[in-house]
Structure 1
Amino acid sequence: MYKKRREQYLNKIESHSLSLFFSGKAPQRSNDQNYPFSVNRNFFYLTGIDQQNVCLLVAKGEKDAACYLFIEKVDPVKALWDGAGHTFEEAAKIADLELKDIKDITTLDQTISQLLSTSRRALFGSIEQIYLDLERQSNLSEPTIPIQYAQKLKELYPFIQTKTNQMILAELRMVKDQDEIEKVKRALAITQMGLNQIMFTLQPDKYEYQIQAEYNFVLNANRTIPSFDTIAASGKNATVLHYVENKDQIKNGDLILFDLGVEYEHYCSDITRVYPANGKFTKRQKEIYEVVLKANKETIKWLKPGVSVQEFFDYGKNILIEGAKQLGLIKEDAEINKYYYHSLGHYLGLDVHDVGNYSLPIPEGALITIEPGLYIAEEGIGIRIEDDVVVTSKGCINLSKDIIKEVTDIEAFMTSKKNK
């Protein structure tokens, strides 16, 4: 699997090049503590290795190519404190590499120097460029490891051109293989358990954070973590897209919007559901909910490979426009922006908002969210319904179809809990 992904990557890059991918390191939190380590997703995508201070080197000559993994040797003393990392043998097995291609991380600089030389150790001929996983964001608090290494390379080898390989990986990661889909399905199964627990415990007068705690309990019991900050937004709070304080008391008659997910082996789910706090939708709440549900379901039926991202966005938005007119919210199409102010979905995978080339048509094998919504602050109602789907040649497969979203199903579930 990882070997195939590296081969796909090699087919996309130029010859006479090296590529470097770093797993990263946990940032320092205090004098003697670090934040939890989160592996670089492009590195993980190509290796399956979840460990700090590891580097993948991909070399491509005119005719030959090779991949080397640089990793720390197991330190018996360090293992007593922090646990042992992967042995060379274990790393080779996970990454689908030969043992001879696993090297000590301390030899990385020396190996690059040899490959860039004009001696017999320049195994891949003249190297003209080095690809690095360079971040494009300008708001980083400090340079990433790839950016620091790029600066180092420019000083040592000014004749070498450095390039970013982020868009290459973004396009590769747009299409999911079966292993990736299975991991997302597992994340969704845990998400479903968490949402069932929410419905089972939800009631007026509780606080949003108390219901969030019920969800977190299910994740902890399954040794997983949230894929992003959970939104548990009751009443008017649900009209704020990124409300994460989750601090207010839930009132009788409120709807509460839950936007949440699970990270399972680094693959993410992203689901939004809306429930009535007292177990019963009002007539008005149901009318608005059904408009959003129609946009969700009709878009899932319609979406297919080859559709542009903008066409995808517009299709669901047009359904919301017609529904908002029927609800008496708007008269002109442009007025929808008052009640719907986000895109219809995004790619999903190793990141919640996964990488991809959004200028390209949506490809077969894409994993994407479909999440229409209406937010009516003056009525204290915010509704978003989000599912995770795989785009196939025969249409979408809704991976989250078992997470109930019909009004009758939600009310029946929440009524049944009262009888237990």
Structure 2
Amino acid sequence: MKKEFYIKNRKRVFDKIKDNSILILFAGNAPKKTGDEEYPFTPNRNFYYLTGIDEQAHVLLLSKFNGENKEYLFIKDIDEIMEKWNGKTIRKEEAREICGIEEVKYLSELDKFIDKLVLNKEELNIYLDLEEKNSSYDYLNKIKDRYYNISIKNAYKIIAELRLVKTEEEINRIRKAIEITIEGVENLMKNTKAGMKEYELEAYFDFVCKKRGVKDLAFKTIAAAGKNATILHYVDNNTELKENDLILFDLGAQYKYYNADISRTFPVSGKFTKRQKEVYNAVLRVNEKIISEMKPGVKFLDINKLARDLIAEECIKLGLIKNKEDVSKYYYHSIGHSLGMDTHDVELEGRNVTFEEGMVYTVEPGIYIEKEGIGIRIEDDVLITKDGNEVLTKNMIKSVEQIEEFMSK
């Protein structure tokens, strides 16, 4: 992204915060794993959305007093000894070029700088990202006793509303993540055979991602054969594939912090049994119907209810239930979620979202029949457009005929 993207995002945040306020966002730090080893660092997504900087420990501060907006970035103090071990950290000029903030200071100046802002103010709003446990909560505990004249506000909801609608640059990153994911799925499908372990097959996807420069996956890959596919978040991936199994893959590459999220289910043997085909086509019909309904002005909650009703009808046809109310025995999640910098991207409270142009949502109906060892989910990523939608995952094979033809080769 060019720095203008982050400048524009900050301007939109300024428009939404109250006067007489400061907003503080933390890049975060890599949590400790064990001994002297840390987990890989990934930036707080709201910090990244407003700065484009993906190093740990930095802090963004926005101030708004008497209608005047000011921006500050506090970067880590330079430690030349540690840089010999871990590499150089960002310099002021580099930071300015990435995010477009001219006032760049060092972290050692932060506390005194905030003291100066708060001093002599009768009342002050401090906006922090308080959606999940993160560095903001540590800071909140620190300032509760330090300042008496502050009112704490949650910046997450403000930024979430902005992140729901993607720009063309963001959509292009999602497209790239999807392109890599599709290549990875096709690679693992080509190499599927009975007797393999789920993790062996998963490795064919990982190889493509690494080869294409992917640093991190959107989430831990689900590779679930047979009845394992009836467990929504099955990630052990250590069971042997059997000849008549279906295997469900739920996976995604991450490209420059933007994610793909695709689910595909296919037969290990390359051919669906009659029953597997019946269930698969039932799920596929719901997938395609829901996608056809997605357009600006449609409410997510309405299509979520429609999906549940449609799956209930399919379950009745399949002889699984007699009453629609019993559908939760075989379908126990929502139809999808927002997709972006997080796989389960920002959501409004209660998922009370009305689709707008530029939103990206997954569509992932499923039917899970443990007693038959059949778990099927078909997930696509859908962009809401001006007049309807675009299926971003349209190049991923999906029908029974396409899957069997592809695997026969």
Question: So what's the TM-score if we normalise by structure 1?
Answer: 0.93
The aligned length equals 402
* 1:134 aligned residue: 130
The offset of 1:145, in angstroms, is 1.8
Which structure 2 residues correspond to residues 242-391 of structure 1 after superposition, within 5 A?
242-357=233-348, 358-391=351-384
Q: Over residues 236-275 of structure 1, what are the superposed CA-to-partner deviations in whole Å (9 max), with x where a residue is unaligned?
A: 1111111111111111111100011111111111100001
1:184 and 2:174 matched: yes
* 1:160 aligned residue: 150
* Alpha-carbon distance in 2 for matches of 1:57, 1:227: 28
Instruction: Say whether the 8 Å CA contact 2:123–2:151 is kept in structure 1.
Output: no
* Alpha-carbon distance in 2 for matches of 1:222, 1:22: 30
Instruction: Say whether the 8 Å CA contact 1:115–1:127 is kept in structure 2.
Output: no
Match for 2:395 among 375, 398, 402? 402
* 1:122 aligned residue: none
Instruction: Say whether the 8 Å CA contact 2:226–2:374 is kept in structure 1.
Output: yes
* Alpha-carbon distance in 1 for matches of 2:34, 2:201: 31
* Alpha-carbon distance in 2 for matches of 1:157, 1:217: 52
* 1:411 aligned residue: 404
* 2:119 aligned residue: 117
* Alpha-carbon distance in 2 for matches of 1:267, 1:8: 21
Gaps of 5+ in 2: none
* 1:149 aligned residue: 139
* Alpha-carbon distance in 2 for matches of 1:273, 1:360: 26
* Alpha-carbon distance in 2 for matches of 1:386, 1:127: 49
Instruction: Say whether the 8 Å CA contact 1:73–1:88 is kept in structure 2.
Output: no
Q: Over residues 65-121 of structure 1, what are the superposed CA-to-partner deviations in whole Å (9 max), with x where a residue is unaligned?
A: 1111000243332222111111111111111222xx111111111111111223xxx
The offset of 1:328, in angstroms, is 1.8
* 2:13 aligned residue: 9
Instruction: Say whether the 8 Å CA contact 2:122–2:149 is kept in structure 1.
Output: no
* Alpha-carbon distance in 1 for matches of 2:399, 2:135: 47
Q: CA RMSD in A?
A: 1.4
Q: Which runs of 4+ in 1 moved over 3 A?
A: none
**SS at the partner of 2:188?**
helix
Q: Over residues 290-336 of structure 1, what are the superposed CA-to-partner deviations in whole Å (9 max), with x where a residue is unaligned?
A: 11111111111111122222101012222212222222222211121
Instruction: Say whether the 8 Å CA contact 1:387–1:398 is kept in structure 2.
Output: yes
* Alpha-carbon distance in 2 for matches of 1:282, 1:395: 35
* 1:39 aligned residue: 43
* 1:55 aligned residue: 59
* 2:104 aligned residue: 102
Match for 1:219 among 203, 209, 213? 209
* Alpha-carbon distance in 2 for matches of 1:47, 1:415: 48
* Alpha-carbon distance in 2 for matches of 1:58, 1:253: 58
The offset of 1:393, in angstroms, is 2.3
The offset of 1:364, in angstroms, is 2.4
* 2:197 aligned residue: 207
Q: Over residues 364-383 of structure 1, what are the superposed CA-to-partner deviations in whole Å (9 max), with x where a residue is unaligned?
A: 21111000000111211110
Instruction: Say whether the 8 Å CA contact 2:279–2:367 is kept in structure 1.
Output: yes
Instruction: Work out the percentage of aligned pairs sharing the same amino acid.
Output: 43
The residue type equivalent to 1:108 in the other structure is L
The offset of 1:127, in angstroms, is 5.5
* Alpha-carbon distance in 2 for matches of 1:66, 1:223: 37
Instruction: Say whether the 8 Å CA contact 1:18–1:127 is kept in structure 2.
Output: no
* Alpha-carbon distance in 1 for matches of 2:164, 2:122: 32
* 1:198 aligned residue: 188
Describe the shift of the 1:58–1:165 C-alpha distance in structure 2 as closer, same or farther (beyond 3 A).
same
**Which stretch has the larger CA shift, 247-256 or 305-314?**
305-314
* Alpha-carbon distance in 2 for matches of 1:353, 1:401: 20
Gaps of 5+ in 1: 119-124
* Alpha-carbon distance in 1 for matches of 2:37, 2:177: 29
